[in-house]
Amino acid sequence: MNLKQIRTSHFRNTYGTKTSGLAEAVLYYNCTIKPEIRSIKEHSIIFADGSEEYIDEIVCCTGFQNKFMFLDSVENDSLLKQVGHEARISHHLYKHAIHPLTGDSLIFIGFVRPCFGAVPPLAEMQARWFALLCSGKCRLPDAMTMTNRIHTYVRYITQLFTPLRTKRITTLTDFLSFSDDLARDIGCRPNLGFKMLFSDPYLWLRCMIGPISNAQYRLCGPHAKPEQARHILLTIKWKPLWYNLFELTLLYISTLLWFCGIRSCQPHAWCAIHERSI
């Protein structure tokens, strides 16, 4: 299955399977994975590869559309109606949250869906950032700068996920890149340099290649809880140590190749989402 899609997908832009039931259905119960639907007939479905399957029932799992009816219904306020309409595509907002025309007077939190990871940790990062905006401890750039950064970000995720996915799922983002970008603004991104490496090497290793966890953004910065964060990071279940060391070696080899000019080896999670990232 992975080899069939290796030219169009990789582990960062393909969704993680949340249950082993899918793999079991394919292996043991003759379930077949089909491409997207081209058309539907009275008793059959035509798929994009031209194959036709005769079916009894269709179960639709189409999700939902972003619509802000309360903004559309505001009378004599064309600005809010415009913002409400454009906010339906959340990656056209600054950090998936703020429209340049309204600034921090109106914010959309939680419209962030990563391929790997979960929505709540990203929504929490947005909420922490918004709290700093409300208290005046963090400031937004001007509207023009926000617009330029939105355009850069859209190019970034389109390159990462392909236009097929970003057009279909308008809240799509990368968990690590998005978290790191917000953590820089919040001031809670841990310094994973030599200081942590030599003072707490096991914690450093966990932050570098451990399971995806936003507990690392509570190690320092506003409202830090370093003891609780360290406990979570050190006790969370992960792969055997030898495997993680092997993975770390591959990471540095890939980074070295990137520095040598091979752009395809650019580490996505290290790309700051601003003008110099594209």
Over pLDDT 90: what percentage of the chain?
A: 39
Comparing 18 with 110, the larger pLDDT belongs to: 110
Structure confidence by residue, pLDDT tens digits, 169-219:
889 898 888 999 999 999 999 988 888 889 999 899 888 888 888 999 999
Q: Domain residues for 249?
A: 71-277
pLDDT of 273 over the 60 cut: no
pLDDT of 277 reads 42
Question: Among 211, 111, 109, 116, which Cα is nearest to 161's?
Answer: 116
What does the alpha-carbon distance between residue 247 and residue 140 come to, in Å, rounded to a whole number?
Answer: 37
Structure confidence by residue, pLDDT tens digits, 139-154:
999 999 999 999 989 9
Q: How far apart are the two ends of the chain, measured CA to CA in Å?
A: 31
Kindly state whether residue 62 falls inside one of the protein's structural domains. no
Kindly state the tokens that stand for 87: 């906010």
Among 13-17, 21-25, 159-163, which stretch is predicted with the lowest mean pLDDT? Answer: 13-17
Kindly state whether residue 60 falls inside one of the protein's structural domains. no
The model's pTM: 0.80
pLDDT of 267 reads 67
Q: What are phi and psi of 173, to 5 degrees?
A: -155, 175
Clarify whether residues 117 and 232 are in a common domain: yes
Clarify whether residues 211 and 87 are in a common domain: yes
pLDDT of 187 reads 94
Kindly state whether residue 242 falls inside one of the protein's structural domains. yes
Clarify whether residues 248 and 179 are in a common domain: yes
Number of domains the chain is built from: 2
pLDDT of 2 reads 62
Model confidence at 127, in pLDDT bands (50, 70, 90)?
very high
pLDDT of 13 over the 80 cut: no
Kindly state the tokens that stand for 32: 């077949």
Mean pLDDT over 226-249 rounds to: 88
What does the alpha-carbon distance between residue 21 and residue 183 come to, in Å, rounded to a whole number?
Answer: 36
Clarify whether residues 136 and 220 are in a common domain: yes
Clarify whether residues 42 and 89 are in a common domain: no
Three-class SS state of 205? helix
Clarify whether residues 92 and 44 are in a common domain: no
Kindly state whether residue 66 falls inside one of the protein's structural domains. no
Strands (E), 22-133: 37-40, 44-47, 52-54, 113-114
Kindly state whether residue 64 falls inside one of the protein's structural domains. no
pLDDT of 254 reads 83
Clarify whether residues 170 and 195 are in a common domain: yes
Kindly state whether residue 59 falls inside one of the protein's structural domains. no
At residue 184, what is the residue type? R
Residue 78: alpha-carbon gap to chain centroid: 31
Clarify whether residues 176 and 125 are in a common domain: yes
Clarify whether residues 254 and 175 are in a common domain: yes
Clarify whether residues 124 and 42 are in a common domain: no
